Chain A
Amino acid sequence: MSGSDLLDPDGHGPARDEEEQELRFLLQQAAPHLAAPEDRMDRIRARAAHTRRRRRAVGLGAGLTGGLIAAALAAAPAVAPAPERGVVAGPAGTPSAVTSASSTPSGEPSGAVTPPVAPPGIAIRFPALPDTVVEVPNGWHARNGITSDPREGIGFLATQPLDGKSSCPPNGGLCVPLGPLAAGGADVTLQLVDDQGRIQQTPGGPATLTEGTPDAFCVMNGGTRELVGHRIIVRNGVPALIELTACLREPSDPTLEQVRQVLDSIRTAGNDSTPAKAPRG
């Protein structure tokens, strides 16, 4: 077919009609009949909820800017050592599993990882975060972080047992627990952030959780939401930042509240507590 008779956009000659019919046929033939994923509706719900929360957060954020500035200027309760609430389950007082996350002498993860460790409802210290106390909600599980860098301060909390499987980058770095997140579940990572700029930008006072975009690992484990929060503690006499990242799968309100409680509970370990062992994981 020549295209010379088709130059007029409004023209609808026989050749143009034939060409259009041919294109219709091709498109119908070519477009595949793809199967829908089983959880399509779940994903749609999660996306709609995420969008709504983000819009609400933007609106609130605009209104609360002044309040946040005021909060930043206020004294930071998390910076000062707070009285220990409950039992401080530091390495000396925790079940041995807390400190048993081991690595090979070269620093590579050994694969022999820590089973769920923390008795529910108590304050603990992760060996890799010896200056930090965090309270594990009832029924939650904790696991020490496994990294190829012993200086990496990290710990995990989750609503479900953190099994021994981890995924470690081939070139070293942070290993994260693997495994599907149960519906309504949460997987919380606490990490020490060694960045003075960010520490200075983080306001003291009540910490807030903000919506993030679930990263690849979170999505791969079935996560539909990500919340991020920060707390300032004192480490070796200087302020340090603990970043909480929660990967959640269609979380219930109680689960969200527990994540907030975890964030609120992060504080500097008291001077009277037993010194933590050097992190080995």
Chain B
Amino acid sequence: MRDATPDFEEFVAACGPKLLRVAWLLTGDRHQAEDLLQTALAKVWPKWDRIAIDRPEAYLRKVLVNCHVSWWRRRWTGELPHGELPDRPSVGADPYEDVVLGQVVAQAVRALAPRQRAVVVLRFFEDLSVEETAEVLRCSTGTVKSRTHHALAALRGRLPSRELLLDGGPRERI
């Protein structure tokens, strides 16, 4: 078996944390997120020499999202990652609030259909344009807009507002 090139390992070290966050938003579960990321990386690795030349992160993001969609299609229940991953370090003043926020957002995003979820993550977490999102998901820009619209409508009322998070303001919801 070929050893991983240093470039690939460097890439995983550099982009892994961000892609793992994307995977978490797609799956809503840290174990499944790590599993999804590893699945995508394992698919990319054999082709790394070709992929590394041109925007490897974009390519991997595409693989990651499409792996997730295909898992959903197959009602995937295969390999499960094991072992405990350490909890993330708290960045907020109140670690409890961080956890609660994560749970609320994960629950709301997970309630979306997988393709809507992918659109939300790509557009609003990865900050991709409509065109870029359409390319990743291999669909039309109209489809992306439509899914965005429906996803936002579905999320409305399920997520806390920024005001509430920042200064304990009124309990408005987006």
Instruction: Tell me the A residues contacting B by CB distance below 8 Å.
Output: 1, 3, 6-10, 16, 19-20, 22-37, 40-41, 43-45, 47-49, 51-52, 213, 219-220
Cross-chain contact of A213 among B33, B78, B101 (Cβ < 8 A):
B78
Q: Are A9 and B146 in contact (CB under 8 A)?
A: yes
Note all chain A residues with C-beta closer than 8 A to B20. 34, 36
Note all chain A residues with C-beta closer than 8 A to B85. 34-35, 37
Nearest A residue to B9 via CB reads A41
Q: Are A30 and B89 in contact (CB under 8 A)?
A: no
Note all chain A residues with C-beta closer than 8 A to B172. 1
Q: Which of A19, A24, A33 gathers the greatest number of chain B CB atoms within 10 Å?
A: A33
Nearest A residue to B89 via CB reads A33
Stretch of B50-58, B68-76, B118-126, B132-140 with 4 or more beta carbons under 8 angstroms from chain A = B118-126
Nearest A residue to B100 via CB reads A30
Cross-chain contact of B30 among A27, A34, A219 (Cβ < 8 A):
A34
The A-B contact count (CB < 8 A) is 136
Minimum Cβ distance to chain B for residue A115 (Å): 29
A44-B45, A47-B39 provided; 14 other pairs, C-beta below 8 A? A20-B152, A25-B162, A26-B101, A26-B162, A27-B124, A29-B101, A30-B104, A31-B24, A32-B30, A34-B17, A34-B21, A48-B42, A48-B45, A49-B1
**Given A33-B17, A34-B33: A52 and B145 interface contact (C-beta under 8 Å):** no
23 contacts between A and B (CB under 8 A): A1-B172, A6-B153, A9-B146, A10-B145, A19-B152, A22-B162, A23-B159, A26-B159, A26-B162, A27-B120, A31-B22, A33-B21, A34-B17, A34-B20, A34-B21, A34-B33, A35-B85, A40-B12, A40-B38, A47-B39, A47-B42, A48-B42, A220-B82
